[in-house]
Structure 1
Amino acid sequence: MMEMFSNWAEWTPQLFRGLQVSLRLVGLALLFGLPLGLALAIASSAKARLLRYCAIAIVEIGRGAPALVVLQMVYYGLPTSGLNVSAFTSGAIALALTTGAYTSEILRAGLNAVPRREIEAGQALGMTQGDIMRFVVIPQGVLFAVPALMGFAILIFQATALTFTIAVPELLARAYRIGAATYLYLDVLVLAGLFYLAITIPFGWLVSWTERRLGSHLG
């Protein structure tokens, strides 16, 4: 047991650097994926049939394709199109696309949850449809969706482990590298699991707290 703790102390700096890579991937996925999801949510509720059907098709394909498949398609597909990007960039793009597809449904539900009377009040004030969407529907809809979006952020953090398949030096990849060098796979994977739990458990508590606070505020 003491030997395991000694090994953990030695491996922790390497795994912490991997954790930083994982968090950077999450940040980029949310930074670019959430606006994409909002655009798809708005487009999927548009009156124009062509726009609505195209948005729905993109969302269904994005949600139906496993994140690992999207990751492999981006990593191997972009170079064949003449775009040579790093493994990290490929991972960030793939996770952003997956984020956009999944959060579009979360955000669409939030937008649809805005009370009709709020929209009618905007119309009564002479606001245009675009202004009602910008100043009334989107702010409130995003607020309604915040707890679910935070919960999804946990899932996308866990999904960063998939990028070890394309040699991104994130948390799981560094754990496997240590395991390959020491043959102590179980020990290092347990430590990597604790790193994941150190992020997901407190953030899960934050999601629950936010949901309660938001529910009492809206109530």
Structure 2
Amino acid sequence: MIDFPIDDVISWMPELLDGLALSVKVTLASLAIGIPFGLLLALGVQAKSKFTRGLCLVIVEIGRGAPALILLQFIYFGLPSAGITMTSIVAAIAALSWNTGAYTSEIIRAGLESVPAGQKEAVMALNMSRIDGLRYVILPQGLRVAVPALLGFSILIFQATSLCFTIAMPELISRAYEIGSTTFLYFPALLAAGILYAMICIPASMLVSWVEKRAGRFSR
């Protein structure tokens, strides 16, 4: 029978919770920057200017095509070669914001394209400017469709913060590894970290399912 060190796990909780709090803060900061960035990219991809479309497409494709781990490594270890140095937390937010912006731009663009053609024709019939039509008619309806997918992606970004241990950011997994390296109790330390992740991800997934059902009823 395995003797699980429950007393040790309890003693580790303050340190693990500090790491969890940092993971949540980085997630919120990345979403706060990345989702508006994604909206700008979605609009840029649909712009009339070829230069703007091309630039936005390059940013989106790199952000989607490169794994989040590569973006983290590039920004934290690669940019100093060009004279740009960031702390691990700033680098993590920059990389995850880029990743968020790239993916959410496609989610938002799909939402905007789902707006019925009749609504767009109504904007033209009312002689509304492009900006006013976008602001008052297209964006409210398109973003309502995109919200469930954006919420689901937010969970993935929270999980992606676990990759930040590779750039020495003291988030949850980093704290668990540090505890494991000093106590040699890797299994209970990582298990405790996994449970803390699940305590946030499972309720968040349930919230996403509820929002999807509400959105489905609204669309009908």
Q: TM-score, normalised by structure 1?
A: 0.96
Greater Cα shift, 177-186 or 127-136: 127-136
> For each residue in 1:164-188, what CA deviation from the matched residue of structure 2 results, as whole angstroms up to 9, or x when unmatched?
0111000000000000011000111
Q: Does 1:108 align with 2:112?
A: no
Once the two structures are TM-superposed, the CA of residue 55 in structure 1 deviates from its matched residue by 1.4
Contact 2:63-2:99 within 8 A present in 1 as well: yes
Contact 2:4-2:188 within 8 A present in 1 as well: no
Once the two structures are TM-superposed, the CA of residue 2 in structure 1 deviates from its matched residue by 6.6
Paired residues, what number? 219
RMSD: 1.3
Q: Does 1:97 align with 2:98?
A: yes
Distance 1:205 1:9 in 2: 27
Q: Does 1:65 align with 2:66?
A: yes
AA paired with 1:105? E
> For each residue in 1:67-110, what CA deviation from the matched residue of structure 2 results, as whole angstroms up to 9, or x when unmatched?
11100111023333333321111111111011111111111101
Contact 2:59-2:102 within 8 A present in 1 as well: yes
AA paired with 1:7? D
Distance 2:57 2:111 in 1: 17
Mapping 1:186-205, distance limit 5 Å: 186-205=187-206
Q: Which residue number corresponds to residue 180 of structure 1? A: 181
Distance 1:122 1:29 in 2: 33
Q: Secondary structure at the match of 2:5?
A: helix
Q: Does 1:47 align with 2:48?
A: yes
Mapping 1:96-175, distance limit 5 Å: 96-175=97-176
> For each residue in 1:135-176, what CA deviation from the matched residue of structure 2 results, as whole angstroms up to 9, or x when unmatched?
211121111100000000010001001110111000000000
Distance 2:145 2:126 in 1: 24
